[in-house]
Amino acid sequence: MLLVIDTGNTNIVFAVHNGTEWRGTWRLATSAQRTSDEYGVWLEALLTRAGITPSEISRAVIGTVVPAALYDLRRLCREWFDVEPLVANARLDWGFEIKVDTPDEVGADRLLNALAAHNLYHGPLVVVDFGTATTFDVVDADGAYLGGAISPGINLSIEALHQAAARLPRIGIGRPQSVIGRSTIPAMRSGTYWGYIGLIEGLLTRIEGEYGTPLKAIATGGLAPLFAEGTSRFTAIDSDLTLYGLRLLSLRNNPPPLPRDRARFIEAE
């Protein structure tokens, strides 16, 4: 079985795939202070509930945009599952070209989304990922990664508005029925939601204009279904795109060897 760990700025997703199907998917708030033993106790209980024993895990793969969390996630794999994890980075075999000026600067999640989206939906396409940041990633017809755009995520925008304007409250995210708000909170909800719809549609139009042909648009991330309600631009909504990309990456690359002296190896990292 394969243990998949997708570490974002807000949540960490753990999942197990048995070669045929996903046996379980679990989420935890991201915290760079959480230790490998804390992860292990929590995850072991969930695996047991799903009928999976730690000894059944034979491989692991990690994708992270939070470097500070990698140390303890790597220790988790070594000490609790006796496997050395494959860590997603631009130097691995992705099966496609990374056509940007500095490949090492591209977040692993963006490459993983590109890998999964091309495999499932075939390019040319744009992946729109609604996470802490909202990212737009362009994949050509051959699957090559061309770069894209990064904008602040919706939650960041709402929090910044609340923090910077003393009289504006913190609001929740939802789709307002009316664009014209008749009081402060409805006006904020309208500007936030429909403003983001405008951002999505505007950037997709400009990306297509620069690329030269129409592109499929694939939405992913926890808020993808909410924003897909407000626009017809999306070809598909796939909340598990990054997990699928991690599994594909693990199939393309050999697992790293487990170091003989794990304690010394960990201390040296």
Residue carrying structure tokens 């924003």: 227
Q: Order of strands, edge to edge, in the sheet holding 59-64?
A: 22-29, 11-17, 2-7, 59-64, 86-87
Distances 115 to 73, 85, 223, 247 between C-alpha atoms, Å: 23, 19, 21, 10
SS3 148: strand
142 has catalytic annotation: no
Active-site annotation holder among 72, 109, 137, 238: 109
CA atoms within 13 A on the CB side of 74: 21
Q: Tell me the chain's radius of gyration from C-alpha atoms.
A: 20
Phi, psi of 45 (to 5 degrees): -65, -40
Q: CA 232 → CA 212, 217, 251, distances in Å?
A: 20, 10, 34
Per the document, the length of the chain is 269
What is the set of active-site residues? 109
